[in-house]
Structure 1
Amino acid sequence: MKIDMTRTGSRNGTISRHSSNSTSKLYFTFILLLLIFTPRVDSSWWYIGALGARVICDNIPGLVNKQRQLCQRHPDLMQSIGEGAKEWIRECQHQFRHHRWNCSTLDRDHTVFGRVMLRSSREAAFVYAISSAGVVYAITRACSQGDLKICSCDAQKRGQASDNRGEFDWGGCSDNINYGIKFTKTFVDAREKMVKDARALMNLHNNRCGRMAVKRFMKLECKCHGVSGSCALRTCWLAMSDFRRTGDYLRKKYNTAIEVTMNQDGTGFMVADKDFKGTTKNELVYVEKSPDYCLMDRAAGSLGTAGRVCNKSSRGTDSCEVMCCGRGYDTMRAKRVTKCECKFKWCCAVECKDCENTVDVHTCKPHRRPDWLDQTRR
């Protein structure tokens, strides 16, 4: 699903206002029909990435009262969260592009991921972590860019400090990561704090891991001052790293996620593996084992891998053996156009030719039904 947030504007004049009102009514009617005929599974604020905050605050199911109030009070923040939602979903799909479950989204579904998120699995753990991280990243960035009225750069970074290169002065515009984390915790965790069960505890834990992952990769950026750029004096500030670093980090945490069970008093977790000696503080946790995602299973939310492209020469998760779950694969010849024979032309451009190559594309075979099932349906 391609999530798009549409910004609508108005022009002066009666005709334009009438047109805008008509458009709003049509848009509102569309949203109501969408919400009525979309099967409700587990609505979430994630859908902000697909709809405008103008409608979402009052009408989309899934926002608890606290989230709805924040949405109405800070529409500019919701705009940032919507942009952040598109970004973290793209990152999720990048991280799992060679996986049987590829972070697939569903068109016109306000649950975004469908029933797959009902299971308290590793995949759910990753989605909650990366979504929380995406909100932190989006809000912090918007603060620094001056897009929000409620926050700006980190004003606490003042005076002198030092690193392994010596002393420097705080200056510039440090990213206000603490505000981003604070608001994200208030908004994202609001729904989970209303419930006292294993899934809510799991979500809260993974939300926190996602928030802290963004802070983990804050970096020092500096500007030199002095004769001929000698760096006799430095002015430095803290900035977020590219979101890809957070995605890579959380993807590794997905691989090492820890299975847990709720303790007897319902206040925390116990690790399912009795021999586990470490701590779960900075690890993703899950409660239920994942399905294999090989076959389409509407109840589990699995889309299956039939028709997925696989890599014949790979030995990883994108290999035809793993991706196709042993069902085999089909091969077809396809033409692919790439840029080639590129030359630098003074000044200042690169000119390339379009080269056409024929390549083999391998796709997973569909599941073959047992013969007895075919006979019973005749």
Structure 2
Amino acid sequence: MCFIAGVWSSCAIMQVYCSLHHLISCSSLTPIQRPEMYIIGAQPLCSQLSGLSQGQRKLCQLYQDHMVYIGDGAKTGIKECQYQFRQRRWNCSTVDNTSVFGRVMQIGSRETAFTYAISAAGVVNAISRACREGELSTCGCSRAARPRDLPRDWLWGGCGDNVHYGYRFAREFVDAREREKNYPRGSSEHTRMLMNLQNNEAGRQAVYNLANVACKCHGVSGSCSLKTCWLQLADFRRVGEFLKEKYDSAAAMRIGRKGKLEQVDKRFNAPTPEDLVYIDPSPDYCLRNETTGSLGTQGRLCNKTSEGMDGCELMCCGRGYDQFKTYKHERCHCKFHWCCYVKCKRCTTLVDQFVCK
């Protein structure tokens, strides 16, 4: 089940993706062939999306054309999570096939903090871009103010990514489940809700703050005597890397006397809205554990020469590793031919690989 203790809004985002994938991607009919799914006020889409809270379902009914892009954003977040943690013991996978991240989400750990942040970031990214591409009825190109440091003779306009709208809509949708519940102040549920809201905001802030100005030159023979500039989202890989750094420096928190989160170790600076926070220690991802959702690292590839987390010593948790040889196929001896293509040969080499016991 996606709904655990009534607070898992990030899981609801993933459920939208999974449900949409089942309703649309796996259907013989494309979204264009099923227009009833996008009629404002129509019920088929929202009634078939499981995992939504009451507030999220209302937003779904009002903004049905947004739902596909929430699903796209969730998919982007999943892929980025798997990329960023591909060389870690926890590689953003689960033993539970009924949901994306499974039982790992029950624990308020660093890993859960990252999944909430990257999920919220994916929604901002997808909605902002959909606005620019004219896919949504309630938004269009960015109306961001002209940057003060932009040279006076450069034009400000173009059709930029509407990160302002994406941020606002993602905040309303993603946080809806958390804000609907009235948990007793200081309770474990209330503590987890505050953690989720903080990490949701950190994900949104990452996309918002990393958006930058992009420009295009105009002029005779490419002289670039004039430029038109607009607001553009950063590549999502950069967002993932930024949030991965925040994961590494995430702050351990606990509930304070006033019912607010406070740092366990007050020697460090207080977390800002851009920082990730967690309330529980991470489980041991070395061994498979159905209770915590850990897949374990048995059978994982490792790097014998690395001293990092991808190294065999750390990845295999001291259990040792097996060595075997495998063939590696890659393009090689590439040559450019006039005009205009590149022709490569296919080289095969025998390489050593190492797998955790």
3-state SS of paired residue (1:91) = helix
Q: Which moved more, 1:81-90 or 1:231-240?
A: 231-240
Match runs of 1:25-36 below 5 Å? none
Q: Equivalent residue for 1:214? A: 207
**Matched residue type, 1:178:** H
3-state SS of paired residue (2:154) = strand
Q: Equivalent residue for 1:193? A: 179
Offset from partner CA, 1:85-107 (integer Å, 9 cap, x none): 11110000000000000001567
Match runs of 1:312-331 below 5 Å? 312-331=304-323
Offset from partner CA, 1:245-301 (integer Å, 9 cap, x none): 1000000000000000012232x2110003224444321000001012000111111
Structure 2 unmatched ranges of 5 or more: 24-36, 38-43, 184-189
CA distance in 2, matches of 1:39, 1:93: 20
CA distance in 2, matches of 1:345, 1:280: 54
3-state SS of paired residue (1:191) = helix
Per-residue deviation at 1:146?
0.8
In the alignment, is the contact (CA less than 8 A) between 1:258 and 1:280 conserved in 2? Answer: no
Structure 1 residue 291 and structure 2 residue 259: aligned?
A: no
Q: Equivalent residue for 1:172? A: 158
CA distance in 2, matches of 1:39, 1:51: 12
Match runs of 1:124-273 below 5 Å? 124-155=112-143, 157=145, 162-163=148-149, 165-195=151-181, 196=183, 197-266=190-259, 268-273=260-265
Per-residue deviation at 1:57?
2.2
Structure 1 residue 300 and structure 2 residue 300: aligned?
A: no
Call closer, same or farther: CA 1:61–1:106 in 2, change over 3 Å.
Answer: farther
Per-residue deviation at 1:73?
2.4
**Matched residue type, 1:144:** R
Call closer, same or farther: CA 1:320–1:191 in 2, change over 3 Å.
Answer: same
Structure 1 residue 353 and structure 2 residue 341: aligned?
A: no
Call closer, same or farther: CA 1:69–1:272 in 2, change over 3 Å.
Answer: same
CA distance in 1, matches of 2:94, 2:141: 34
CA distance in 2, matches of 1:188, 1:296: 31
In the alignment, is the contact (CA less than 8 A) between 1:329 and 1:362 conserved in 2? Answer: yes
Match runs of 1:50-61 below 5 Å? 50-52=18-20, 57-61=46-50
In the alignment, is the contact (CA less than 8 A) between 1:161 and 1:169 conserved in 2? Answer: no
CA distance in 1, matches of 2:63, 2:166: 14
Structure 1 residue 73 and structure 2 residue 62: aligned?
A: yes
In the alignment, is the contact (CA less than 8 A) between 2:118 and 2:243 conserved in 1? Answer: yes
In the alignment, is the contact (CA less than 8 A) between 2:120 and 2:200 conserved in 1? Answer: yes
Q: Equivalent residue for 2:71? A: 82
In the alignment, is the contact (CA less than 8 A) between 2:117 and 2:203 conserved in 1? Answer: yes
TM-score, structure 2 normalization = 0.85
Per-residue deviation at 1:168?
2.3
**Matched residue type, 2:159:** C
3-state SS of paired residue (1:363) = strand
CA distance in 1, matches of 2:294, 2:151: 52
CA distance in 1, matches of 2:191, 2:293: 21
Offset from partner CA, 1:293-318 (integer Å, 9 cap, x none): 00011111111001011111111100
Call closer, same or farther: CA 1:105–1:149 in 2, change over 3 Å.
Answer: farther
Per-residue deviation at 1:164?
6.1
CA distance in 1, matches of 2:150, 2:292: 52
CA distance in 2, matches of 1:331, 1:149: 56
3-state SS of paired residue (2:285) = coil
Call closer, same or farther: CA 1:104–1:146 in 2, change over 3 Å.
Answer: same
Q: Equivalent residue for 1:117? A: 105
CA distance in 2, matches of 1:290, 1:204: 19
CA distance in 2, matches of 1:223, 1:271: 46
Structure 1 unmatched ranges of 5 or more: 1-37, 366-378
* Root-mean-square deviation (Å): 2.0
Q: Which moved more, 1:231-240 or 1:193-202?
A: 231-240
1:46 aligned to which of 4, 7, 14: 14
**What percent of counterpart residues are identical?**
49
1:91 aligned to which of 65, 80, 86: 80
CA distance in 2, matches of 1:211, 1:332: 44
Offset from partner CA, 1:113-158 (integer Å, 9 cap, x none): 110110000000000001000000000000001111111112354x
In the alignment, is the contact (CA less than 8 A) between 2:94 and 2:293 conserved in 1? Answer: no
Structure number with greater Rg is: 1
In the alignment, is the contact (CA less than 8 A) between 2:96 and 2:102 conserved in 1? Answer: no
Per-residue deviation at 1:353?
1.3
TM-score, structure 1 normalization = 0.81
Call closer, same or farther: CA 1:277–1:161 in 2, change over 3 Å.
Answer: closer
Call closer, same or farther: CA 1:269–1:340 in 2, change over 3 Å.
Answer: same
Per-residue deviation at 1:191?
0.8
